[in-house]
Amino acid sequence: MDIAWIYGLIGGLVIGTGGAVLLLGTGRIMGASGIVGGLVDGSGTDRRTTVAFLVGLIGVPALLSLAGWTVATQTTSQIWLLTLGGLCVGIGTRFANGCTSGHGVCGLSRFSLRGLVATLTYIAAGALIVAALRMGLGL
């Protein structure tokens, strides 16, 4: 019996819990791109909360990895493709005024129409890009 789906369930619960804790603790909506962008461009209002969020975002997976707990992924080893994908995500989050955690998790849970439109748009765009890459580049 394949139980790989459990990782997605656990990840979703952790992201949802993190969003709820941030909202209840600070009154801010969790959106990773907005938090990182605020730190980079200086527009963030609470630097301590931002740094704590990023330490948790990077530190917890690092600690789990050091403890020997890893999850196999299906990512490519082609650095140029990972870099291009990261740049596209960064540009897209600026255009959409948010990312998957902000629009998809927190926006949808608040019944935000903007969150719904953004989520449907990036899911459709992702599906089209994957289909195009598989057909055109054989990736």
Task: Convert the pLDDT of each residue in 24-76 to its tens digit.
Answer: 888 878 877 777 777 777 776 677 877 887 888 888 888 988 998 877 777 77
pTM of the model: 0.62
Alpha-carbon span 97 to 103, nearest angstrom? 9
H-type alpha helices, 68-136:
79-95, 108-109, 113-136
Name the residue range of residue 38's domain: 5-136
- Domain tally, the chain: 1
